[in-house]
Amino acid sequence: MLVESVVKRTLGLKCWRVKRVTGSVEGFVVEIVPRRLSRPRCSVCGRKRTGYDTLTARTWRHVACWGIPVAIRYARRRVKCKRCGVKVEAMPWSMGKSQLTLPLIIVLATFAKMLSWEEVSRLFGVGWNTVKAAVANAVEHGMANRDTAEVIAIGVDELSRRKGHVYVTNVYDLMEKRLLWTGEGRGKDVLERFFSEWGKERIERIMCICCDMWDPYVEVIKERAKDAVLVFDKFHIVQHLSKAVDQVRREEAHALKEKNPELLKDTRYIWLKNPWNLTPKQRERLGYLERLNLRTNRAYLLKETFRQFWNYTTPGWAGKYLKKWFWWATHSRLKPMRDFAWMLRDHEENILTYFKIKLDNAATEGMNRKAKVVSQRAYGYRTFETFKLALYHALGKLPMPEFTHKFL
């Protein structure tokens, strides 16, 4: 089979033909011309129109053939469209103003989901910016063609992008487990941008929103999504409780520093782990510490009794138990546990909605871990815009451009 035939079949040429293929092992240049009497299509509406003029020849980088670089060269025609005006014709191998052919965009973007962009650039012998451009084109197409009509439950959480308290706010679709939106920072204005960009029509379709008890998020959600049910994430509540227990341990360890510094040394995870996950050695040490009437042990017992709260199935019974536990915590003479109890009291209404809608941010936490893997795979990204591209590409489940021939 001639190279001309291979190019014709893989590029899906119908209204064009391959005029010639020139070059050597250093690279092929495929010159394409329109077929005689063929009418160009408008790149906006897709209708066949009369030709207007012909632009100077342009070159696109194509998928390498047997490791040999391939370039496509073609002089684009412009059409005079009654609806759209004077526009460049539609070409099956071209996507927007990209200097890469659509097949090469698909190939590079597909590998960029699995490998770092630096590795993809070395694998295909292209520049890092070329890989970034391919990902940007794939993300642009995916964002324009993704279906968000069925988004009814979203999760909101922040992610640390790098050291120095540099955060991004991510909004996930909890049903499809995909990234919907990401913004730089974690303040009130960031989530405001999401709701502004999401639009009133799509906001009205959202039935429930899950997030942690971060006040800026809560204020915006209650203001912009009044009809949605707000559910505070179970795992963040447990995380706050664990931090309170650990704070009691640290305070007590500091108080015992002079009298018995070894008593609470290396016991942090004994108090924080689930009892059934303790090793025999940890279980034995816990049994010894429980007999000493430590402040940390009182905090630990409060943590374990709070576990019963999640076993209730109705908001009424859960609310009654929460009031009982609140009394225990506020009379424990342990300030961190008291502060945690008052935090629950302040957010009680939205905590109890969990028993109406069993929704949590487990999927969000899982996708946040994947987002960190995306960042670590590239040893971090210098700019937020590049990181955003990588996140949308890896976690957005965006539809990829379709082509007549599969190169992978």
- 1 has a pLDDT exceeding 60: no
Tell me the pLDDT tens digit for each residue of 132-182. Answer: 999 999 999 999 999 998 899 999 988 888 777 788 999 999 889 999 999
Same domain membership, residue 12 and residue 82: yes
pTM of the model: 0.81
- Whether residue 173 lies inside any domain: the answer is yes
Q: Name the band, by pLDDT with cuts 50, 70 and 90, for residue 404.
A: low
Asked whether residue 295 falls in the same domain as residue 390, the answer is no
Identify the domain boundary among 64, 94, 124. Answer: 94
Is residue 25 in some structural domain? yes
Residue numbers of the domain that contains 222: 153-232+360-395
Predicted pLDDT of residue 405: 66
pLDDT the model gives residue 236 = 87
Same domain, 277 and 334: yes
- Identify the burial level of 394 via C-beta atoms within 10 angstroms of its C-beta, where 0-12 means exposed, 13-18 middle and 19 or more buried: buried
Quick one: what percent of the chain has pLDDT higher than 90?
39
Number of domains in the chain: 3
Whether residue 278 is found in the same domain as residue 201: no
Please measure the distance between the N-terminal and C-terminal CA atoms of the chain and give it in whole angstroms.
20
Same domain (yes/no): 348, 366 = no
Cα–Cα distance measured from residue 157 to residue 172, given in angstroms and rounded to the nearest whole number: 8
**Long-range interactions of 330-335: CB distance < 8 A, separation 24+:** 332/298, 332/299, 332/302, 334/248, 334/295, 334/298, 334/299, 334/302
Examine residue 133 and state whether it is found in any structural domain, yes or no.
no
Q: Is residue 406 part of a domain?
A: no
The verdict on 373 and 285 lying in the same domain is no
Contact 157, 211 (CB under 8 A): yes
Burial class (CB in 10 A: 0-12, 13-18, 19+), 382: exposed
**End residue of a domain, out of 52, 67, 94:** 94
Q: What does the pLDDT read at residue 195?
A: 93
Per-residue confidence (pLDDT) for residue 316, from 0 to 100? 92
Q: Check pLDDT > 80 for residue 8.
A: no
One-letter amino acid of 60 = W
Phi, psi of 64 (to 5 degrees): -65, 145
Same domain, 368 and 391: yes
Query: So what's the pLDDT on residue 25?
Result: 66
Let me know whether 228 and 369 are in one domain: yes
Residue 13 or 274, more confident: 274
Any idea what DSSP says for residue 42? B
Residues 243 and 349 both lie in one domain:
yes
Residue 131 lies in a domain: no
Q: Residue 167: give its domain's CATH number.
A: 3.30.420.10
- The closest of 42, 96, 62, 131 to 405, measured between CA atoms, is 62
Structural contact between residues 183 and 197, judged by C-beta atoms closer than 8 angstroms: no
Lowest mean pLDDT among 139-143, 199-203, 252-256, 361-365: 361-365
CA 248 – CA 334 distance, rounded (Å): 7
Q: Which residues contact 389 (CB under 8 A, 6 or more apart)?
A: 132, 135, 136, 139
Residue 146 within any structural domain of the chain? no
Mean pLDDT, residues 108-113 taken together: 91
Domain annotation covers residue 77: yes
Decide if 55 is inside a domain: yes
Each residue of 304-361: pLDDT tens digit? 999 999 999 899 999 999 999 999 999 999 999 999 999 999 989 888 988 888 877 7
Indicate whether 407 pLDDT > 70. no
- The residue written with tokens 């999927």 in the block is 363
Residue 260 sits in the same domain as residue 322: yes
Q: Which pLDDT score, from 0 to 100, does residue 16 have?
A: 87
Tell me: do 183 and 217 sit in the same domain.
yes
Query: Are both 191 and 248 inside the same structural domain?
Result: no
Tens of pLDDT, residues 23-75: 876 788 889 999 888 888 888 888 888 888 888 999 988 888 777 888 899 99
| pLDDT one-digit tens code per residue, 262-301 | 888 888 999 999 889 989 999 999 899 888 889 999 999 9
Among 61, 79, 94, the domain boundary falls at 94
